[in-house]
Structure 1
C-alpha cells in the first residue's frame, strides 16, 4: 500500500564521509498508520466540521468513480486513487489544496500509473470535462482549457507523489475475498455482497490502517450477516488476522453504514440503517464493550513544502536498510 513517512534529519560532507554526502532528510515510508497517528493528523488538518469534510470527500470519490468508469479503468485503479486521496488529505490541509476535484483527478492519474492502466493526463481531463458537461460543446486535447488544467495538475501530482513517499505498493481486499470464499466453500452470493462492501471500504480510512486480508474477512462477516449465511467457521487466526483488527474492521464498516448509508454501494439493496444498527448491537453483545486501543507510534506532521529547499530528500521504503546504512556511517 502507498504510505507516508516521518522525516529524519541527516547531514554529511565529502570530507568526513568518503562515500559522499548524505541526504539532508530521510523520509521513511509507512505502509500503515496507527489509530492515534490518524487521529492526530485529522486534528491538524481539520478546519471545517467533520460532516462537511466527509461530504467533500464523497464528491471527490464520485469524480474518481465517474471518470474512471468513463475511461474503463478497473476497480483496482479507482480504489487505489481513493486510497491515495484519503492519504493526501491526512497529510495536507484542504486550506492549502481546496480543489478536491483537481486532487481527485491527480490521484486517479497517479493510480493509473501505479496499477499499470496508463492514460495520458489530457485523456483524463477530457473525460472529466464531458462528465461535467454531457451536453456541452466538444473539446480537444489541444484546447487551452485542457492545457491550463494539465499544468495545474502536473504540479499537484508532484505533491501527491511526495505525500505517498513514492511508495506505490497497494494491495486490495477483493482477491482475498475470492480466495477465502473458495477456501471455505461459501456461496457466490456471499462473495458478491462482500465484494460490494469492499468497494465501500475505499470510502473509509480503513485501508490506511488495516491489512487487506483483515478487511476482506470483515467484509465476509458483514455479508454473511446481511444475507443470513453462517460464516462462524471463518476464524481470524486461520487467516493470519489479529482478532482485534478483525473486530475493528467490522465495527468501523458498520458505523460507516449507519452514518452514511445513502452514499454507499449497498444502498441500492439495503436502504434501512436500522439493519446495520442491529448488527452493531449484536456484535457488541458478543464482543463485550469494545474500546479501540491506540498503538503508540511516531508523531507525524503535515507535509513540509520547504523540505526540499533544505537539501536532498531521500525516500526510503525499507526501514531495516536505512537503519543498517545509518549505523555504518
Structure 2
C-alpha cells in the first residue's frame, strides 16, 4: 500500500554545512568551493526520492512552474502524439512510450515550462526512457528521427550543439526524478488481476486500452501501478455492464479503496473531457455517452478519497523549490535507504 507523502520531512531529511577549519571572511562565508582551495561554506542536501504525489502537490508545483495551465495541457497532448509517432517509428516497445510520458509530466513538477523547449524535453524523456527500459538506441539515431518528425534540418555543427543541449536536459531530468529508475508499469498487475477475477478476453482487452490511455493523465504521478490496474478493470466492467459494482475486495489486491476512487475519477475525467484523443475512441467509438452515466453513478455512490495535504504544509515543503544548480550539492536516495542514512547521521 502506498505511503502518501506528509510534507517537508519526507523530502529533505537533513541539511548540513561543512565549514573550513579556519574562519572565513564575510565575503567568503556564502561562497562555493574554488580552485584555490578556499571552500567557504558548502550547503549540502539529502533528498529522498518521491515517486508519487498527491493532487494538491501537483497543483502546487504547477502554480510555480506553469504560467498558463490551458496552454500546458494543450502542448502536453501534442507531445504525447509526437512521442507515440517517434516511439512507433523507432520500434520501441510500449513500456518505453509509457515511461517517456511519465518522465515528461514529472519534469515539469520541478522545472519551469518553456514553450520554446518543451519538444526538446520530450526528446530527452524518450532517450532516457529507452535506456531505463533496456532498449537503448544511440542518441544520434533518436535525434535524426525526431528532427525529421519536426521537419527540422540541422547542419553537422548545429546537430552537435543540439546533442549537447539534449544531454544537458538529460542531467536536469535525472535530478528531477531523483535518479529513481524504478519502473512503475501496470500491465503485469492488469493481467494477474483479470485472471483472478475470471474476466473474458474482451473485458481484459478493454481494461488494457483504458490502462494505456491512463498515461495521458497525471494518474501515474499519483498512484502505484497495482491501483491503476484495478481502477482500469473496474471502469471496464462498468462500461460492459452498468450493473457492475464499484466495490471489489480491495484488500485482496493490496489496494486502498480511496486510492482506487482517485484513479477512477481521473479516468472518467479523461474520457468525458477528451474522449476523441484516446485510443478507446478508435475501437469503441459508441462508448462515449456511457462515461457520463458512469460518472453520475460514481458520484451517487459517495466515494471516499484520501485527505490531501493542506496548502500551509505545501508552502513549507522544500521539495518544490526550484533547484539552484550553481550552489551546493545534493545527494539523492531511495526511501529504502533511509535507515542507512540515519545510521550515517548518527556517526
TM over 0.5: yes
**Is it true that 1:313 corresponds to 2:330 in the alignment?**
yes
- 1:9 aligned residue (6, 15, 21): 15
Larger Rg: 2
Q: How does 1:282-321 map to 2 (within 5 A)?
A: 282-287=297-302, 293-295=307-309, 299-302=317-320, 304-307=322-325, 309-317=326-334, 318-321=337-340
Q: How does 1:1-329 map to 2 (within 5 A)?
A: 6-7=11-12, 8-12=14-18, 24-48=44-68, 50-95=69-114, 98-133=116-151, 143-228=156-241, 232=245, 234-268=248-282, 269-270=284-285, 273-287=288-302, 293-295=307-309, 299-302=317-320, 304-307=322-325, 309-317=326-334, 318-326=337-345, 328-329=346-347
Mark the runs of 5 or more structure 1 residues left unpaired by the alignment. 16-20
Note closer, same or farther for the CA distance 1:23–1:51 as it changes in structure 2 (3 Å cut). Answer: closer
Counterpart secondary structure, 1:244? helix
| Per-residue Cα deviation, 1:254-278 (whole angstroms, up to 9, x for no partner) | 0111111122111212366432111
Q: TM-score, normalised by structure 1?
A: 0.85
C-alpha RMSD of the superposition = 2.9
**What is the rounded CA distance, in whole Å, between the counterparts of 2:257 and 2:305 in structure 1?**
13
Answer yes or no: is the 8 Å Cα contact 1:24–1:310 preserved in 2: no
| Per-residue Cα deviation, 1:175-207 (whole angstroms, up to 9, x for no partner) | 111010112211111111111111111111111
**What is the rounded CA distance, in whole Å, between the counterparts of 2:138 and 2:243 in structure 1?**
46
| Per-residue Cα deviation, 1:201-232 (whole angstroms, up to 9, x for no partner) | 11111111111101000000111122228765
Answer yes or no: is the 8 Å Cα contact 2:52–2:222 preserved in 1: yes
**What is the rounded CA distance, in whole Å, between the counterparts of 2:92 and 2:136 in structure 1?**
9
Structure 1 residue 122 displacement after superposition: 0.9
Residue equivalent to 2:32: none
Answer yes or no: is the 8 Å Cα contact 2:259–2:306 preserved in 1: no
Mark the runs of 5 or more structure 2 residues left unpaired by the alignment. 22-40
Note closer, same or farther for the CA distance 1:42–1:305 as it changes in structure 2 (3 Å cut). Answer: closer
Counterpart secondary structure, 1:119? coil
Counterpart secondary structure, 1:30? coil
